[in-house]
Structure 1
């Protein structure tokens, strides 16, 4: 980010061939955008606008056409004030606008429509599209992850098992501390199929909705070079056989969810990466935050609501129950999009073409229409994941599992960016609100007594 002067007389830089092109000063760019000069710096730091030093280094200039294009995209609205200091993250991965989002400048929904999850992950990581690429788990990594996940209690969730699998996979990779781009990519291409492979089959004995169960953790697809990750994951989510249309929906969901800028779990992943933690530890940090009910686990309540709406033949009584209890209706609204979540729009379009999804799709639309009578909210991706999971008889936690596996790609991408930054740059200071020192030493509490009245 360049902190240049906001003053000037409209300099005109020249290209190498001597052709003069109009350039704008910071103040002129701010006026065209309808924002403060400080906000122009924020656009540069976010990768939304490029700048160029003037001859002699007295300030920066901006391409007029690029500024005008940004003004059209933002509607000339000043964004929320950016974070200051080291917490301004420069990232070239994901740009989110009011009605769509982009992976490295390419419309993410178009990428997901035309390319599978592994191809999109590679694009996010490297900026290169590799048609037909497949991720394969190393034998030792997969065996360690499966043993660890299978040893967990019956009530363990899929996210519990994914965290354990990530730790087990790390222990089996002696090169995990190689933080070069090549080393990180090798770890990532091994880790993601290892996570999927560690999950038990959906039909394993003792597994039910919300219970990953014990059986089957060592069975299932090997994750060979010809098997897509979506196909490997499908059999861990439902015992129903998959056809091409079903796998296309799941593969697209994985691609759509691969990254979403600095969501809470991604911020945690970047904090871990700033300590130069290895990629497996970075993913573990992301998984820990993802499990929060306000983040990756948000699709579970949407699944249960949608199931109930299908069973009761309509959304009105279900929505009424939520409103009466003072609960928000799950699967609706997103703070970053003014209309329908573009990820939901893509998945709904695919699910509309699946005959068996008709009941769940009708219920989802009923939920949106019923709620709109009270609050103008639009569907988000959690509702679309709920349609997917309800349609194919998946457990309520299926959406969270899809989210976790998919977002691993984004966490790795952000880790690769963070590894190039100054280490340990994220060290905020707390605002102390406790008693002012010096305070006297505390008085010890009496020793606890046993049941017979004697001290233990």
Structure 2
């Protein structure tokens, strides 16, 4: 029987160095630090200042957990371990920290980078590389004027990938560098919104067919178009605002947009995130991983849900009656968008936080009243609560944005979460996302047709 020290380590059993821990785990030393940043392994500084040390019992426990991973060919999608987001009891946490408090306390860039690295860097700004941004802008500018926001983001991601010869470097630092460059590239490649924003009525979109000027701004020598929508030192929220609406943002409105970005960074294994992990399991590069997420998101049941809620709120404002609009939705056999969430039986904490932020925006009062009218109307017969799509729609309607603006916010925000999941998946055995199909076709042999 052995005595134990105060930290639970057996007496006489030396702590492991980083190299020793890596050897025992069968991984590279940098992967050990990835386990630490994800909260899967604790570390302690060596008193002699020679690096970090690790509890051998904790390392062995991690080895045993790794050995329980499903073998290749089994349904690994049912056994994905992640240290990013926990959803429980109408709340959610990023790496064990209350996600709503994080979003209220820090800007989007800081929350995203902390999610990737475990370290917060105050004042952090993401910068788009000139060559990648020029390629993305040219590609986006070549699209038809009626192109949707997700179309533009997908094209921008592909163009930026082609412009990056180092995209296949999947080392942790390289992927982090790509992430910090890709998000601002996606935002800055979008055309700047134009039109008479200041005098517009909430919900009206009279700045042309799609509310933006394709290829707007003066042309530079590279043909990419000058960025007239924001300053280079602006945060992601300010730069994105200029691409969603021509209205100048007030401080409270801009804060609400930044809050929405942070709240939407990740939400466990949503459909797009699962697509991302499958792509990362095949060792697709980060641009391709994000493209996989954007592809899965481009549907009415995922990223586009806020657009349906936006149109509903616009209808309520134009007709002056939430009851009439809800009745029409039900009569047509459609569900009322923006209500309920399978993971939150009582309240979506993201919606509650965003509605609270919108209460501080004077121009948001009509849109908020419309959203609350919809919720109150449907609550007459069944318990219902607003989800984040309805809150996001209230933000986009109040700000004079296009119906698909919420989808743009969602995609930009979730790119950070997709990168976080890709970083996790790159540390797992490759091609583990290979479930076996259950064949239910005719049994062979059969004659040639």
The alignment's TM-score, normalised by the length of structure 1, stands at 0.78
What is aligned with 2:331?
324
Are the counterparts in 1 of residues 192 and 228 from structure 2 also a CA contact under 8 Å? Answer: no
Is 2:5 aligned against 1:16? yes
Is 2:359 aligned against 1:352? yes
Deviation at 1:435, TM superposition (A): 1.7
What is aligned with 1:215?
215
CA–CA separation in structure 2 for the residues paired with 1:208 and 1:418 = 43
CA–CA separation in structure 2 for the residues paired with 1:389 and 1:436 = 54
Higher-RCO chain (CA-CA 8 Å, sequence separation at least 6):
2
The structure-2 alpha-carbon separation of the partners of 1:370 and 1:15, relative to structure 1 and needing over 3 Å to count, comes to farther
Are the counterparts in 1 of residues 76 and 433 from structure 2 also a CA contact under 8 Å? Answer: no
* DSSP-derived class of the 2:304 partner: helix
* Structure 2: segments with no counterpart, 5+ residues: 10-37, 43-55, 65-73, 197-205, 218-224
* DSSP-derived class of the 2:86 partner: strand
Q: How does 1:367-406 map to 2 (within 5 A)?
A: 367-406=374-413
Is 2:120 aligned against 1:113? no
CA–CA separation in structure 2 for the residues paired with 1:13 and 1:161 = 63
What is aligned with 2:258?
251
Is 2:332 aligned against 1:341? no
Deviation at 1:374, TM superposition (A): 2.2
Is 2:122 aligned against 1:131? yes
* Structure 1: segments with no counterpart, 5+ residues: 1-11, 21-45, 61-82, 443-456
Q: How does 1:39-54 map to 2 (within 5 A)?
A: none
Q: How does 1:232-247 map to 2 (within 5 A)?
A: 232-247=239-254
The structure-2 alpha-carbon separation of the partners of 1:124 and 1:17, relative to structure 1 and needing over 3 Å to count, comes to closer
Are the counterparts in 2 of residues 269 and 286 from structure 1 also a CA contact under 8 Å? Answer: yes
The structure-2 alpha-carbon separation of the partners of 1:232 and 1:86, relative to structure 1 and needing over 3 Å to count, comes to closer
Q: How does 1:35-184 map to 2 (within 5 A)?
A: 85=76, 87-184=78-175
What is aligned with 2:302?
295
CA RMSD of aligned residues (A): 2.9
**CA deviation string 1:283-304 (max 9, x = no partner):** 0000001111100110011000
What is aligned with 1:41?
none
CA–CA separation in structure 1 for the residues paired with 2:365 and 2:231 = 34
What is aligned with 1:453?
none
Are the counterparts in 2 of residues 170 and 280 from structure 1 also a CA contact under 8 Å? Answer: yes
CA–CA separation in structure 2 for the residues paired with 1:207 and 1:93 = 40
Deviation at 1:207, TM superposition (A): 6.0
Are the counterparts in 2 of residues 297 and 397 from structure 1 also a CA contact under 8 Å? Answer: yes
Q: How does 1:401-412 map to 2 (within 5 A)?
A: 401-412=408-419
CA–CA separation in structure 2 for the residues paired with 1:214 and 1:19 = 62
Are the counterparts in 2 of residues 210 and 397 from structure 1 also a CA contact under 8 Å? Answer: no
CA–CA separation in structure 2 for the residues paired with 1:126 and 1:49 = 14
The structure-2 alpha-carbon separation of the partners of 1:382 and 1:19, relative to structure 1 and needing over 3 Å to count, comes to closer
CA–CA separation in structure 1 for the residues paired with 2:232 and 2:180 = 12
What is aligned with 1:415?
422
**CA deviation string 1:337-392 (max 9, x = no partner):** 12221111111001111111111101111100100112211100000011001101
What is aligned with 1:79?
none
**CA deviation string 1:291-337 (max 9, x = no partner):** 11100110011000001111111200000001111111000000001
Deviation at 1:222, TM superposition (A): 7.7
CA–CA separation in structure 2 for the residues paired with 1:101 and 1:300 = 24
Deviation at 1:234, TM superposition (A): 0.4
Are the counterparts in 1 of residues 139 and 156 from structure 2 also a CA contact under 8 Å? Answer: yes
Are the counterparts in 2 of residues 118 and 229 from structure 1 also a CA contact under 8 Å? Answer: yes
**CA deviation string 1:195-226 (max 9, x = no partner):** 01111111179964656552317343587652
The structure-2 alpha-carbon separation of the partners of 1:397 and 1:354, relative to structure 1 and needing over 3 Å to count, comes to same
What is aligned with 1:189?
180
**CA deviation string 1:112-140 (max 9, x = no partner):** 00100000101110111111100000000
Deviation at 1:86, TM superposition (A): 6.0
Are the counterparts in 1 of residues 183 and 412 from structure 2 also a CA contact under 8 Å? Answer: yes
The structure-2 alpha-carbon separation of the partners of 1:339 and 1:48, relative to structure 1 and needing over 3 Å to count, comes to farther
* DSSP-derived class of the 2:93 partner: strand
The counterpart of 1:264, out of the listed 258, 265, 271, is: 271
What is aligned with 2:438?
431
Deviation at 1:174, TM superposition (A): 1.1
Are the counterparts in 2 of residues 176 and 280 from structure 1 also a CA contact under 8 Å? Answer: yes
Are the counterparts in 2 of residues 146 and 165 from structure 1 also a CA contact under 8 Å? Answer: yes
CA–CA separation in structure 1 for the residues paired with 2:422 and 2:362 = 41
